Amino acid sequence: MGFTKLFSDIVSSSIWNEDDQTRIVWITLLALKGGDNIARASVGGLAHQARVSLEDCQRAIAKLSGPDPDDRSGQYSGRRIEKVTGGFLILNGQKYVERRDEDYRREYMAEYMREYRKRKPVNVNAVNNGKHSLAHEDEESEKEKEKTKSVVIVPSLDSLTEELGPFSAKQRRYIADQWERDPDYVLRQATIVRSEPRANAAKAFLAALRDDWQPRKVIAKPKRQTSAPVQQEFREISDEERAKRRTELAELKAKVKGS
């Protein structure tokens, strides 16, 4: 199941001048749109899902398929949909996908910089000496943010499929649906696939999306403990004890010889 981001400027577009049934059918088509920008539905099915009569749905489709003299986009003469096999193609769907992705990238970078500033070490000496004011710190953060924008690149869906492919048209639609649902999830799975050499990266990527792969946990082997060598204690013996032991040894030798 995908999702469609509804931009606020829809209320200032020419579609908002249409009757209620046409607007409802249009928004229903946007909600049904898949990763290939096709809303898969028959006219009767679309009427049912939009909760309008069949006649109102047919009139709405005629309006959306026809040119719009008040359209500001300059694309397709203002036509919004085109009947295709299996449903309706949203003609400017890709434009809004790219716009949504750009918004996502900006949100991603804003969140990235918030986390970056949290992890950024604080120079205690500089703070204690009063060398940096809060205003200066904010200015430095903005400069750092601008630098990072030019360095950190969030991959697009096209670049991912090109890097990890090739994929069939059906597989591309599946990946696009996953991207529509949660771009972060797709990026995480791509990172996991890249983390190890893969004989078939495309197959691994599809499996990762399907089975929700998790990063491999590296378990460190416990170090083998070696016991310390036993230290033997030595002590000096007196001359008297040494002579006694010699006598005992001589007596022992005599007994052995006599036997």
Long-range contacts, stretch 227-231, CB < 8 angstroms, 24+ apart: none
Is the backbone of residue 114 left (phi > 0), alpha (psi -120 to 50) or beta? alpha
Residues 192, 208: contact at Cβ < 8 Å?
yes
Domain boundaries, the chain: 8-93, 155-217
Residues 68, 79: contact at Cβ < 8 Å?
yes
* pLDDT tens series, the chain, 259 aa: 455 667 676 787 888 888 999 999 989 998 888 878 888 999 999 999 999 999 999 999 999 999 888 777 777 788 888 999 989 998 887 777 776 556 556 666 677 677 767 776 555 454 455 444 445 555 666 666 555 444 445 567 777 788 887 888 888 888 888 888 888 888 888 888 888 888 888 898 899 889 888 887 767 666 666 665 555 555 667 788 888 888 888 888 787 777 6
Which CATH number is 8-93's, of 3.60.21, 1.10.760, 1.20.272, 1.10.10?
A: 1.10.10
CA separation for the pair 192, 121 (Å, rounded):
28
Residues 43, 54: contact at Cβ < 8 Å?
yes
Residues 97, 38: contact at Cβ < 8 Å?
no
**Taking the complete model, does pTM exceed 0.75, yes or no?**
no
Give the helix ranges, DSSP H, for the chain. Answer: 20-32, 43-50, 54-65, 93-119, 124-128, 134-151, 157-164, 169-181, 183-194, 201-211, 239-258
Asked if the peptide bond before residue 69 counts as cis, ω within 30 degrees of 0, the response is no
Torsion 237-240-241-243 (CA) sign: positive
The size of the chain, in residues, is 259
